[in-house]
Amino acid sequence: MPISGIVVSCRPEEAGGIAEKIAGNRGVEVHGVLADGKIVAVVEADSIDAEVALVNGLQQMEGVISVQLAYHNFEDAAPEGAHPAGL
Protein backbone atom coordinates (compact mmCIF):
# COMPACT_ATOMS: atom_id res chain seq x y z
CA MET A 1 0.00 0.00 0.00
CA PRO A 2 1.64 3.27 -1.08
CA ILE A 3 1.58 6.22 1.30
CA SER A 4 3.02 9.57 0.26
CA GLY A 5 3.54 12.97 1.80
CA ILE A 6 2.81 15.74 -0.68
CA VAL A 7 2.96 19.53 -0.83
CA VAL A 8 0.27 21.21 -2.91
CA SER A 9 1.09 24.74 -4.04
CA CYS A 10 -1.58 27.32 -4.78
CA ARG A 11 -2.18 31.03 -4.33
CA PRO A 12 -2.24 31.93 -0.61
CA GLU A 13 -5.72 33.43 -0.79
CA GLU A 14 -7.10 30.20 -2.29
CA ALA A 15 -5.28 27.74 -0.01
CA GLY A 16 -8.05 27.27 2.58
CA GLY A 17 -10.72 26.45 0.01
CA ILE A 18 -8.43 24.19 -1.98
CA ALA A 19 -7.39 22.35 1.20
CA GLU A 20 -11.07 21.62 1.91
CA LYS A 21 -11.58 20.29 -1.62
CA ILE A 22 -8.43 18.17 -1.42
CA ALA A 23 -9.49 16.73 1.95
CA GLY A 24 -12.78 15.65 0.36
CA ASN A 25 -10.95 13.06 -1.74
CA ARG A 26 -10.90 9.51 -0.40
CA GLY A 27 -7.36 8.67 0.68
CA VAL A 28 -6.24 12.27 1.26
CA GLU A 29 -5.60 13.75 4.69
CA VAL A 30 -4.64 17.44 4.96
CA HIS A 31 -2.21 18.15 7.80
CA GLY A 32 -1.63 21.86 7.38
CA VAL A 33 -2.08 25.00 5.33
CA LEU A 34 0.87 27.39 5.29
CA ALA A 35 0.64 31.16 4.86
CA ASP A 36 2.55 31.00 1.56
CA GLY A 37 -0.17 28.88 -0.09
CA LYS A 38 1.36 25.46 0.46
CA ILE A 39 -0.83 22.62 1.69
CA VAL A 40 0.77 19.65 3.45
CA ALA A 41 -1.11 16.38 2.96
CA VAL A 42 -0.78 12.61 3.05
CA VAL A 43 -2.08 10.43 0.22
CA GLU A 44 -2.86 6.74 0.69
CA ALA A 45 -4.10 4.36 -1.99
CA ASP A 46 -4.50 0.65 -2.65
CA SER A 47 -1.90 0.60 -5.43
CA ILE A 48 0.73 2.79 -7.03
CA ASP A 49 -1.50 3.25 -10.09
CA ALA A 50 -4.38 4.40 -7.86
CA GLU A 51 -2.05 6.79 -6.03
CA VAL A 52 -0.74 8.25 -9.29
CA ALA A 53 -4.32 8.74 -10.54
CA LEU A 54 -5.29 10.45 -7.27
CA VAL A 55 -2.29 12.81 -7.35
CA ASN A 56 -2.90 13.57 -11.04
CA GLY A 57 -6.49 14.45 -10.13
CA LEU A 58 -5.27 16.82 -7.43
CA GLN A 59 -2.89 18.43 -9.94
CA GLN A 60 -5.83 19.09 -12.27
CA MET A 61 -7.96 20.82 -9.62
CA GLU A 62 -8.73 24.45 -10.32
CA GLY A 63 -6.35 26.72 -8.42
CA VAL A 64 -3.65 24.10 -7.88
CA ILE A 65 -0.28 25.25 -9.23
CA SER A 66 1.69 22.09 -8.50
CA VAL A 67 1.85 18.92 -6.43
CA GLN A 68 5.28 17.89 -5.17
CA LEU A 69 6.19 14.55 -3.66
CA ALA A 70 7.92 15.01 -0.30
CA TYR A 71 7.94 11.41 0.94
CA HIS A 72 6.92 8.00 -0.39
CA ASN A 73 6.62 4.64 1.33
CA PHE A 74 5.28 1.38 -0.01
CA GLU A 75 4.39 -1.50 2.27
CA ASP A 76 3.01 -4.86 1.24
CA ALA A 77 0.27 -6.02 3.51
CA ALA A 78 1.16 -9.37 5.04
CA PRO A 79 -1.40 -12.11 4.43
CA GLU A 80 -3.68 -12.72 7.37
CA GLY A 81 -2.11 -15.18 9.81
CA ALA A 82 1.39 -14.71 8.35
CA HIS A 83 4.34 -14.45 10.72
CA PRO A 84 7.65 -12.63 10.14
CA ALA A 85 10.45 -14.87 8.88
CA GLY A 86 12.02 -17.02 11.55
CA LEU A 87 9.08 -16.94 13.97
**CATH number, domain containing residue 54:** 3.30.70.920
Distance CA 79, CA 7 (A): 32
Residue 85 falls inside a structural domain: no
Predicted TM-score (pTM) of this structure? 0.82
pLDDT tens digit sequence for 54-72: 999 999 999 999 999 999 9
* Average pLDDT along the chain: 89
Residue 48 lies in a domain: yes
User: E strand or H helix at 68, and its extent?
Assistant: strand 64-74
pLDDT value of residue 23? 96
Query: What local confidence, expressed as pLDDT, does residue 84 receive?
Result: 55
- Can you tell me the distance from the alpha carbon of 10 to that of 87, in angstroms, rounded to the nearest whole number? 49
10 phi, psi to nearest 5 deg = -155, 180
Whether the CB-CB separation of 12 and 36 falls below 8 Å is answered with yes
Question: Is 37 within the bounds of a domain?
Answer: yes
Looking at residue 31, its pLDDT comes to: 97
